[in-house]
Chains A and B, each alone.
Chain A
Amino acid sequence: DIQMTQSPSSLSASVGDRVTITCRASQGISDSLAWYQQKPGKAPDLLVYGIFRLASGVPSRFSGGASGTDYTLTISPLQPEDFATYSCQQYYSSPLTFGGGTKVEIK
């Protein structure tokens, strides 16, 4: 199984900051990486797929990137509605696996 190690597990930031979240895959997953945003009590929303492709309606302050088996989600500038939990997911092979999540809190 491919393990997705996500860091940090939580962070505090201010409105207007630049925030970067990282997922490391335990083996190569090509471009099969998605990011989701989830707010308390709600379903996840797709933000990014294929490493850097923004889902429909997602603001351009969200961006995805990769270097080797490290994948990043960057939010800049951080807006009040962005305080949420973010999770990565690999879909290169079954079982599909998620990172543990990063909770972005208000500083």
Chain B
Amino acid sequence: EVQVLESGGGLVQPGGSLRLSCAASGFTFSSYAMSWVRQAPGKGLEWVLSISSSGDITYYADSVKGRFSVSRDNFKNTLYLQMTSLRAEDTAVYFCAKVGGNDWYFDHWGQGTLVTVSS
């Protein structure tokens, strides 16, 4: 069974940093691109960034470019999201999502982890 499990969310002050992790199991992690998608309270889904299966290609939404970075450890089957210079508008549930094969839709999602940016 495919599973992805996020961790690392919490309360952080504006300008602060946080690192999220996503532990994957039930599939060959190194064969699939992965993404982070967020959802602000009461709002719709917003794609944040994606990383290729090997980790050598990354894509970022303009809203996080230069502040967030993504990486993966294919030996530990883990995806990471490093967030810096956090703003109030980054407050959201952050979902880790497995990309479906060769196309960039999301066929499995984690349960999400809440990041709250507030003083």
A residues engaging B (CB < 8 A)?
Answer: 32, 34, 36, 38, 42-46, 49-50, 55, 87, 89, 91, 94-101
B43 smallest CB distance to A (angstroms): 9
Bound: A36/B110 CA distance, A: 14
Bound: A45/B97 CA distance, A: 10
Does B11 count as interface, using CB distance less than 8 angstroms?
Answer: no
Given contacts A95-B61, A96-B50, contact A44 B103 (CB under 8 A): no
Report A-chain residues with C-beta under 8 Å of the C-beta of B62: 95
Further contacts, 17 of them, CB under 8 A, given A43-B111, A46-B106, A91-B103: A32-B103, A32-B104, A38-B45, A43-B95, A43-B109, A44-B95, A46-B107, A89-B45, A91-B104, A94-B50, A94-B59, A95-B47, A95-B59, A95-B61, A96-B104, A97-B47, A98-B46
B residues engaging A (CB < 8 A)?
Answer: 35, 44-47, 50, 59, 61-62, 95, 100, 103-112
User: Contact at A98–B109, with CB atoms within 8 Å?
Assistant: no
What are 6 residue pairs bridging A and B, where the CB atoms are less than 8 Å apart in the complex? A38-B45, A45-B109, A46-B100, A49-B100, A91-B104, A95-B59
